[in-house]
Amino acid sequence: MSTATVLSGSAAAADIKRELAGRVLALRDRGIVPGLGTILVGDDPASHSYVGGKHRDCAEVGIASLRIDLPASATQADVEAAVLRLNADPACTGFIVQLPLPAPLDMHAVLELVDPDKDADGLHPTNLGRLVLGVPAPLPCTPRGILDLLRRHQVPITGAQFCVIGCGVTVGRPLGLMLTRRTEHATVTLCHEATRDIAAHTREADVVVAAAGVAHLVRPDWIKPGATVLSVGLTRTVEGILGDVHPDVDRVAGTLAPPVGGVGPMTRAMLITNVVEAAERRAAGGA
């Protein structure tokens, strides 16, 4: 029987979108229309679904949408040209390149071309560098959403022992950086595929964030009773979507973010938050 409190990202995202809609209205009153651009390459169904969701969110809160969809045959030059187009478009306040890019496209070369002031994902090297230095920057959406979700549910962060599984560029690695800022001051263990005994680390953790993309990797006996567990990574199978956390973990965890309706909606909510913040900076005479 489940005893865990559910961290509902869907409910939190609905609150965030209501609040953002008011801020967008205030910007529009001043003649500023925030616009989100997306660049999507190829036919990956999950990526198409995520980008579709991002534009639905924009419509809900009054953000304009600029969508560039390129075929799987797009070259590096095609993708880079799309980035330069959005860099130059005054209607675009911020934009993202949906990841992963199909092979053999070079993600790093593409991300480096994004104007750091329009970097709605916080993944430009300049903005990741600012994160390392602890100075203001747009923050990567999933880690920002995770921290927001924890705060909304009063899950202690400062001084807590976190175990993050997965050190990818969109979740694990920036989350580790954010958790160790002075404002969070958590203790973080970052595990990855070469970690010898991941369970030994998760069993010590107050908060476990599973972002490895390995279905049901985290088992109930990996979790300290009462701990907070966030299931972030997703695997799509013929039976449906499986999270990185085994469903039986809900018998041991005190608090649990499920794979669907947990962190995903927060990722989207933080993306439009980054766009509105960029528009507000522009309105204030900044970037």
- Could you tell me which residues are annotated as the binding site for NADP(+)? 166-168
> Quick one: 57 or 206, whose CB is closer to ligand LMY7XDAE?
57
Contact between 128 and ligand LMY7XDAE by CB under 6 A: the answer reads no
* Of the candidate residues 255, 267, 273, 274, the single one contacting ligand LMY7XDAE (CB under 6 A): 267
Query: Which residue(s) pair with 243 in the sheet?
Result: 234
* Of the candidate residues 68, 233, 264, 277, the single one contacting ligand LMY7XDAE (CB under 6 A): 264
User: CA nearest 99: which of 87, 114, 85?
Assistant: 114
What are the angstrom distances between the C-alpha of 10 and each of 13, 22, 76, 146, 273? 5, 19, 36, 13, 15
Dist. CA 128–CA 119, nearest whole Å: 11
> Any idea of the CA torsion for 71, 273, 92, 83, to the nearest 10 degrees?
-40
Closest distance of CB 93 from ligand LMY7XDAE, Å: 16
Position with the least CB separation from ligand LMY7XDAE? 264
> Quick one: 155 or 232, whose CB is closer to ligand LMY7XDAE?
232
* Of the candidate residues 59, 84, 200, 241, the single one contacting ligand LMY7XDAE (CB under 6 A): 241
> Quick one: 85 or 203, whose CB is closer to ligand LMY7XDAE?
85
Contact between 142 and ligand LMY7XDAE by CB under 6 A: the answer reads yes
Contact between 49 and ligand LMY7XDAE by CB under 6 A: the answer reads yes
Q: How many residues does the chain have?
A: 287
CB-side exposure of 64: number of CA atoms within 13 Å? 14
Site string for ligand LMY7XDAE, 155-184 (x = CB under 6 A): ---------------x--------------
Task: Please identify, among the stretches 68-76, 92-100, 124-132, 206-214, the one whose residues bind ligand LMY7XDAE according to the rule CB under 6 A.
Answer: 92-100
Q: Chain centroid to CA 71: how far?
A: 25
> Quick one: 255 or 267, whose CB is closer to ligand LMY7XDAE?
267
User: CA nearest 286: which of 61, 162, 72, 136?
Assistant: 136
User: CA nearest 187: which of 233, 150, 154, 156?
Assistant: 156
Helix (H, G, I), strand (E, B) or coil at 83: helix
- Positions of E strands within the chain: 5-6, 35-41, 64-70, 94-97, 161-165, 187-191, 207-210, 228-231, 234-237, 240-243, 255-257
* Of the candidate residues 7, 40, 50, 274, the single one contacting ligand LMY7XDAE (CB under 6 A): 50
Contact between 95 and ligand LMY7XDAE by CB under 6 A: the answer reads no
- Positions of E strands within 182-280: 187-191, 207-210, 228-231, 234-237, 240-243, 255-257
Binding residues (CB under 6 A) for ligand LMY7XDAE: these are 49-50, 53, 96-99, 121, 141-142, 170, 234, 241, 260-262, 264-265, 267-268
